[in-house]
Amino acid sequence: MLIGTHISAAGGLVNAPKNSHAVGGEIFQFFSRSPRGGKAPVITKAVVTDFKTAMKKYQQQECYIHAPYYINLASTNNRIYYGSISVLREELERGSLLGVKYLMTHLGSAKELGEKEALKKVVAGIKKILEDYTGSTQFLIEMSAGAGMIIGDSFEEISLIIKNLKLKNKNSVGVCFDTAHGFASGYDLRDQKAVKKTFDDFDKLIGLKRLKLMHVNDSMVELGSHRDRHQNIGEGKIGHQGFEALVKEPRLENINLILETPDKDKDQLNIKILKDFRNKK
């Protein structure tokens, strides 16, 4: 289990490994392009070389790309729908150039179509994204909090999407579980018993082999509130006891943890808290 946080790549992708190292990160997540729109910066051979050199220099074991915020694979607006497909495929290719292990994304909202039709559209979109893809970066579906009919807020829904993909490569799509989103969606994580139950359910419905990465965020809001409000570790409704149980859950020992906590000046502290739980195992 390696631990890190979402890191700024402002001023160039090459800065991300250094920024992660500065707060004690062993791994990190970043945006390879603006999360709010616009053309992606070109990844030249020089950028690739400098990035990989920085990864080694700053002892970063792995890194991951988070897709932009505007992705919606259930949109009835073709510009948004096909634009989302194009951007996600581009991000997979960009990640493969850089040696990024995973690309994670939210899937979008069902509010324009209703759940059944939205899920069909999402499945068709993911198939299109992965069509003839031969890169090394793996596509991950991120668990959502479910606000506003956001897709992917239950294990059942994520399982249904993966089953309906009917991919030739059975392992080509994985899952990123976000603790704040999962908690907001009704999956309790506040103690050892709750953590065990949640991941028993995950294993039964999705399969733990699909779990590739975790976002670790405390929650400002109550269990099952369906609101996406992150908090620093131990300062929210999940609490220190929940995160210690999570880190010590034997089935998660090889799952890496990425923070997306709200106060970036507390990154170093949040990483230390998780490392201390890990080191007490």
Query: pLDDT digit string (tens) for 73-102?
Result: 999 999 999 999 999 999 999 999 999 999
Q: What is the token pair recorded at 125?
A: 């979109």
The predicted pLDDT at position 43 comes to 95
Selecting among 215, 218, 244, 267, the annotated active-site residue is 215
Q: Identify whether 6 is a catalytic site residue.
A: no
Residue 47 contacts by C-beta under 8 Å, 6 or more apart in sequence?
12, 13, 14
Q: Identify whether 240 is a catalytic site residue.
A: no
**260 has a pLDDT exceeding 80:** yes
The predicted pLDDT at position 277 comes to 96
Q: Identify whether 21 is a catalytic site residue.
A: no
Q: Identify whether 112 is a catalytic site residue.
A: no
Q: Identify whether 66 is a catalytic site residue.
A: yes
**Percent of the residues in the chain that have a pLDDT greater than 70, as a whole number:** 99
End-to-end CA distance of the chain: 11
Q: Identify whether 70 is a catalytic site residue.
A: no
Burial of 11 (0-12, 13-18, 19+ CB in 10 A): exposed
Q: Identify whether 230 is a catalytic site residue.
A: yes
Selecting among 50, 201, 249, 260, the annotated active-site residue is 260
Q: Identify whether 69 is a catalytic site residue.
A: yes
Q: Identify whether 81 is a catalytic site residue.
A: no
281 pLDDT tier (thresholds 50, 70, 90): low
Query: pLDDT digit string (tens) for 138-197?
Result: 999 999 987 778 888 999 999 999 999 988 776 689 999 999 999 999 999 999 999 999
Q: Identify whether 181 is a catalytic site residue.
A: yes
**268 has a pLDDT exceeding 70:** yes
Query: pLDDT digit string (tens) for 52-68?
Result: 999 999 999 999 999 99
DSSP string of 150-218?
Answer: BS--SHHHHHHHHHHH--SSTTSEEEEEEHHHHHHTT---SSHHHHHHHHHHHHHHT-GGGEEEEEE-E
Residue 57 contacts by C-beta under 8 Å, 6 or more apart in sequence?
17, 18
Selecting among 26, 62, 91, 142, the annotated active-site residue is 142
**Distance from C-alpha of 5 to C-alpha of 19, rounded to nearest angstrom:** 10
Closest to 129 measured CA to CA, from 36, 41, 67 = 67
Query: What domains can be seen in the chain, in order of their start residue?
Result: 3-279 (3.20.20.150)
Query: pLDDT digit string (tens) for 14-50?
Result: 999 999 999 999 999 999 998 888 888 899 999 999 9
**Contact assessment for residue 173 and residue 133, using Cβ atoms and an 8 Å cutoff:** no
Burial of 2 (0-12, 13-18, 19+ CB in 10 A): middle
The predicted pLDDT at position 110 comes to 83
